[in-house]
């Protein structure tokens, strides 16, 4: 890794340590947790968080934000379901769903870039719009809210249970995605521009960079991967529901923020988000397997997160995390 990222890596190595500690502690409480199979397969319950969190990292690094992906997941699942319902063959329907995801991203980008309104509000609007669209679409073929659209061919529902390189399919997809996006971010011109645009819009403009195009692609990427997450979830649960992505919203934002990306743009890495996703995901799984009731586990995971982060902060003596707070950079303490 290049030296410029060493500083960030320090934070990421902290996350890795935290992840190891977490797994060991849960293993001590419940040895079943440590079994490779359970470590591998429990990821299927939270992989979708990572699948959207990774491209969300790109959006956030480029200085944007998108909350509508939570609806895009459901919308694309419904698009897939409806297409299959109308007799399209499954691969074409899948392609259509991915296309729909990309279009959602494009739509967000178009509105944000033409109106110059802060992306948070715009995507909040499209969060409603897309979920509304999903509800209307699924209503149009008479599918109810809870059971959703089902009855997919066997081979589609098997996808989520297949293996790739010895890994469960969802996890494999996440890892491939991470490598792909990680390489894009670190080793391509586009990736560099994502950082620069997020670091200083003005300086990027003065250097003749295609600001809008860079931003647009980050939103499109997020849309596409949200669609993929929708398909995986549909395959995993065997039915396409409008609310498939609702749960991913907060968790994905948490993963990105915990992974070291700054909501003010210009900072963050794919690796950090990936580790943070595992951290958050295993925390939920581990608490569940340790027999903690769901009521307490929410409080506990919030508290643990805070204790870990502020513990590290206090142990560092100085504001170790200050790089996440852009304004504190000058602090010459």
Q: Cα–Cα distance between 127 and 73 in angstroms, integer?
A: 11
Q: Cα–Cα distance between 18 and 44 in angstroms, integer?
A: 21
DSSP structure class, residue 230:
H
Q: How far is the CB of 187 from another protein (least distance, A)?
A: 6
Closest to 177 measured CA to CA, from 215, 123, 224, 213: 224
Place of tokens 């309104």: 117
Q: How far is the CB of 53 from another protein (least distance, A)?
A: 13
Measured from the CB atom, the residue of 154 and 327 that comes closer to another protein is: 327
The dihedral built from the CA positions of residue 52, 25, 286 and 305, taken in this order, carries a sign that is negative
Measured from the CB atom, the residue of 45 and 243 that comes closer to another protein is: 243
Measured from the CB atom, the residue of 232 and 252 that comes closer to another protein is: 252
Measured from the CB atom, the residue of 92 and 303 that comes closer to another protein is: 303
Q: Mapping DSSP to helix (H, G, I), strand (E, B) and coil, where does residue 168 land? A: strand
| Torsion angle defined by CA atoms of residues 127, 137, 96 and 153, in that order, rounded to the nearest 10 degrees | 120
Measured from the CB atom, the residue of 234 and 254 that comes closer to another protein is: 254
| Residue 295 CB neighbour total at 10 angstroms | 8
Q: How far is the CB of 258 from another protein (least distance, A)?
A: 6
Q: How far is the CB of 43 from another protein (least distance, A)?
A: 21
Q: How far is the CB of 46 from another protein (least distance, A)?
A: 15
């Amino acid at each position: 890794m290049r030296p410029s990222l060493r500083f960030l890596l320090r934070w990421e190595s902290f996350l890795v340590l935290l992840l190891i500690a977490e797994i060991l502690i849960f293993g001590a409480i419940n040895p079943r947790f440590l079994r490779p199979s359970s470590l591998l397969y429990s990821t299927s319950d939270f992989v979708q968080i990572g699948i959207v969190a990774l491209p969300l990292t790109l959006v956030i690094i480029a200085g944007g934000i998108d909350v509508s992906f939570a609806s895009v997941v459901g919308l694309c699942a419904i698009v897939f379901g409806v297409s299959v319902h109308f007799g399209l063959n499954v691969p074409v329907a899948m392609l259509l769903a991915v296309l729909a995801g990309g279009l959602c991203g494009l739509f967000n980008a178009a509105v944000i870039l033409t109106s110059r309104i802060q992306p948070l509000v715009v995507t909040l609007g499209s969060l409603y719009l897309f979920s509304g669209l999903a509800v209307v679409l699924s209503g149009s073929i008479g599918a109810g809210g809870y059971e959703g659209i089902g009855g997919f061919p066997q081979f589609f529902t098997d996808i989520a249970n297949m293996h790739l390189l010895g890994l469960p399919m969802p996890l494999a997809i996440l890892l491939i995605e991470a490598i792909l996006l990680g390489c894009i971010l670190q080793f391509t011109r586009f990736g560099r521009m994502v950082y620069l645009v997020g670091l200083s819009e003005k300086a990027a403009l003065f250097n003749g960079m295609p600001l809008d195009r860079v931003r647009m692609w980050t939103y499109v990427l997020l849309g596409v991967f949200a669609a993929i997450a929708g398909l995986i979830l549909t395959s995993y649960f065997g039915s396409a529901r409008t609310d498939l992505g609702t749960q991913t919203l907060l968790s994905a934002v948490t993963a990105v923020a915990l992974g070291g990306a700054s909501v003010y743009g210009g900072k963050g890495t794919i690796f950090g988000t990936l580790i943070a996703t595992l951290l958050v995901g295993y925390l939920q799984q581990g608490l569940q397997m340790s027999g903690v009731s769901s009521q307490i586990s929410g409080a506990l995971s919030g508290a643990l997160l805070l204790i870990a982060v502020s513990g590290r902060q206090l142990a560092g003596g100085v504001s170790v995390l200050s790089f996440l707070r852009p304004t504190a950079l000058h602090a010459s303490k």
